[in-house]
Amino acid sequence: MKIAMPYDRGRVNQHFGQSREFAIFGMEGDRIVGTKIINSEDFCHNHEGLAGLLKAEEVEAIILGGIGHHMMVALQDLGFKIVTGASGDAAAVASDYARGSLITSDIDICSCGG
């Protein structure tokens, strides 16, 4: 399985649409078997483009902090499993998700208007 998340210096970036990088974690069970950092700077608030980039990377689940409504719809339309309200060290979040022990908050839709 591949998990993606907006990435900022090793942590989950809390603003999905403004993230300049995404971490993609290859998982086997609850172990990380590979990590790829992709540049997403050209896709800032480009909903379909960013969703397509993650789909091309064969990502199945996206874990994030906050996200705008239009981006959420673009991701859901492509069949991604979305987990909102995550924060902290990105690798730890990926491992917690794979183990079924990820704790998230109720924050999911960004109200920044972006």
Domain count, the chain: 1
Query: What local confidence, expressed as pLDDT, does residue 44 receive?
Result: 65
Residue 17's pLDDT band (cuts 50, 70, 90)? confident
Query: What local confidence, expressed as pLDDT, does residue 19 receive?
Result: 86
In a domain, 114, yes or no: no
Structural domain boundaries enclosing 10: 2-99
Query: What local confidence, expressed as pLDDT, does residue 59 receive?
Result: 96
Q: What is the mean pLDDT of the chain?
A: 87
What is the rounded CA–CA span in Å between residue 89 and residue 69?
Answer: 25
pLDDT digits (tens, 9 = 90+) for 73-104: 888 888 999 999 999 999 999 999 999 999 88
Q: Which residues contact 32 (CB under 8 A, 6 or more apart)?
A: 25, 26, 91, 94, 95
Across the range 17-44, mean pLDDT stands at 90
CATH number at residue 43: 3.30.420.130
Query: What local confidence, expressed as pLDDT, does residue 46 receive?
Result: 66
Across the range 45-49, mean pLDDT stands at 70
In a domain, 107, yes or no: no
Across the range 56-78, mean pLDDT stands at 90
Query: What local confidence, expressed as pLDDT, does residue 107 receive?
Result: 56
